[in-house]
Amino acid sequence: MTSEDSKLQKQSTNVAYRFLGGAALGTFMVLIPYLLTFRELNLSHAGAALVLIASCGLLSSLWGKKFIEALMRLLESSGLY
């Protein structure tokens, strides 16, 4: 394995970790209202939740630390975190 192959593998691993981190934060954002109000989760809410989680994961994999920091500031300013 050459050093270029190991760089590419490390970069793809970092992108995967950033995606998972963003998806975890998106999941946390979705769970807050449901844990506070004990609402039922219907099909339209589940679809919207999946879109939000996937978009948080995608944006964090594209923009990395900048997006995650902005998302954390949003959670801090909401008063729920």
Q: Is residue 2 part of a domain?
A: no
The total number of structural domains that make up the chain? 1
Which residue, 28, 33, 31, 21, is CA-closest to 67? 21
Domain span at residue 69 reads 13-78
Query: For residue range 24-77, what is the model confidence (pLDDT) as tens digits?
Result: 888 888 888 777 777 777 888 889 889 999 998 898 888 888 888 887 788 788
Q: Is residue 39 part of a domain?
A: yes
Q: Is residue 1 part of a domain?
A: no
Report the 10 Å Cβ neighbour count for 58.
16
Q: Is residue 54 part of a domain?
A: yes
Record the pTM. 0.72
User: Strand, helix or coil at 81?
Assistant: coil
Q: What angle do CA 47, 13, 58 make, to 5 degrees?
A: 25
